[in-house]
Amino acid sequence: MVKAVVGANWGDEGKGKITDMLAREADIVIRFQGGANAGHTIVNDYGKFALHTLPSGVFYNHTTSIIGNGVALNIPVLFDEIKSITGRGVPAPKILVSDRAQIVMPYHILFDQYEEERLGGKSFGSTKSGIAPFYSDKYAKIGFQVNELFEEDILKEKIDRVCDMKNVLLKHLYHKPLIDKGDLLHTMHEYRDMVKPYVCDVSSFLDKALKEGKNILLEGQLGTLKDPDHGIYPMVTSSSTLAAYGAVGAGIPPYEIKEIITVCKAYSSSVGAGAFVSEIFGEEADELRRRGGDGGEFGATTGRPRRMGWFDCVASKYGCRLQGTTDVAFTVLDVLGYLDEIPVCVGYEIDGEVTTEFPTTGKLEKAKPVLKTLPGWKEDILGIRKFEDLPENCRRYVEFVEEQIGYPITMVSNGPGRDDIIYRSSKLKKN
């Protein structure tokens, strides 16, 4: 049985916490896309951790953590991350890396920086982790798969060929130092030795696991609105953030994904550039940012302050639809307890017309939020475990959002910890 945990919005919805929580029941947790460009923050008995590459199941003894073929694998980052958690008392996790995963090359990171420099003010707000150059090379078929590290002749020949091309760009477009082929080969040998103990034919491993009835969790990074096809193109990430891609990026049949848990935050936040209709500014935004998440809404990878906004029903309904949501996990609700009134974006006004359908990017840039204000509850809801025990206005907020987005909210997260969760039965029929 396969479940996917994915984001409905711009990322940072709290997927790490939900995955960590659901991993209790899972045998295998898989990252299927993205790279070390985003982070999950997890608070558990060992402390507070920011993971960038490892799946959020690494804190349990019983789970196998897998880096799927769809991931942009930064080998040194993976190893630093393993060391950083074992160094803090977490037992050494069981990790497998797909032999078909591709490697983030040192020059991908450089090209990412150089390109942002070149674009200046018109940059995409990249985290400069090499993700866009990595996926460009993957689809241009000049990327390096993990298995190629073990084929010395192929490796040498390919380094030679690829460096010739990269060096033209470095010299004539970016005016930067060239890649030394010998140095790069040496680095690849180091990567090979680091990754060797973990390499696995993952799709075959998962096929066997599925036949044995194991519980598998797919862990998505970012959210629908950063998907390269269905998101706010071009201000998106370079790999699909949708649950459907979980089948491809892990190597399992699509029909095996039985539950899609879409994580949706009780207010909005976004990193990087791009249209953000319900965005708020000034003191109002600062206060929400300061109180948000667990210790403020600042990027787990970059420390950048996140852009803040009210809950956006239009974007979230679309976000849930594209994921194929069976359940919504509605997170960080506790943070809103300070507000007398809570605005919610219920429509977009574009050229004088109001719509609840999420538009393409050009129209999105022109959209103005249509806000409805709901009463706040002015109470600390941390520690509450039953939906009926939440203040009435808080329940109404959840019910209102559920009605607007049209997908069942079956989990409400009211704190960063593993146990800060309220299960709820929804009147809405599951897909």
Binds ligand GDP by CB under 6 A, chosen from 334, 364, 374, 408: 334
Binds ligand GDP by CB under 6 A, chosen from 53, 74, 127, 413: 413
| Residue 30, Ramachandran bin (φ over 0: left; ψ between -120 and 50: alpha; else beta) | beta
Binds ligand GDP by CB under 6 A, chosen from 14, 34, 68, 249: 14
* Minimum distance of ligand GDP from residue 12's CB (angstroms): 4
Residue 124, SS3 per DSSP: coil
* Minimum distance of ligand GDP from residue 161's CB (angstroms): 37
108 binds ligand GDP (CB under 6 A): no
Please, which residues bridge with residue 4 across strands?
218, 260
Per CB under 6 A, contacts with ligand GDP among 244-303 are: 293-294, 300
Question: Are 7 and 322 spatial neighbours (Cβ–Cβ below 8 Å)?
Answer: no
Nearer to ligand GDP, 209 or 332 (CB): 332
Binding part of the chain for ligand GDP, among 274-282, 328-336, 365-373, 394-402 by CB under 6 A, reads 328-336
- Between CA 315 and CA 402 the distance in angstroms is 13
Binding part of the chain for ligand GDP, among 15-23, 112-120, 345-353, 368-376 by CB under 6 A, reads 15-23
27 binds ligand GDP (CB under 6 A): no
Rg, Å, the chain Cα set: 22
User: Which residue among 27, 40, 227, 334 is the active-site one?
Assistant: 40
Verify whether residue 172 is a known catalytic residue. Answer: no
User: Residue 207 is inside which H or E element, if any?
Assistant: helix 202-211
332 binds ligand GDP (CB under 6 A): yes
Binds ligand GDP by CB under 6 A, chosen from 2, 3, 27, 40: 40
Nearer to ligand GDP, 330 or 407 (CB): 330
Q: What separation in angstroms does the CA of 122 have from each of 116, 119, 180, 235, 272?
A: 8, 5, 31, 11, 12
* Minimum distance of ligand GDP from residue 47's CB (angstroms): 12
Q: Beta strands of 52-178 (E only): which ranges?
A: 64-67, 72-73, 94-98, 102-103
Q: Which residue has the tokens 């719509």?
A: 355
Please, which residues bridge with residue 19 across strands?
none
Q: Which of 41, 99, 113, 42 is nearest to 71 (CA)?
A: 99
Binds ligand GDP by CB under 6 A, chosen from 143, 251, 319, 416: 416
Nearer to ligand GDP, 253 or 295 (CB): 295
Contacts with 92 (C-beta within 8 Å, 6 or more apart), sequence order: 82, 86
Nearer to ligand GDP, 6 or 247 (CB): 6
Binding part of the chain for ligand GDP, among 84-92, 273-281, 318-326, 329-337 by CB under 6 A, reads 329-337
Binds ligand GDP by CB under 6 A, chosen from 12, 137, 148, 327: 12
Question: Are 29 and 55 spatial neighbours (Cβ–Cβ below 8 Å)?
Answer: yes
Verify whether residue 40 is a known catalytic residue. Answer: yes
Q: How many CB atoms lie within 10 A of CB 374?
A: 18
Residues acting as catalytic residues: 12, 40
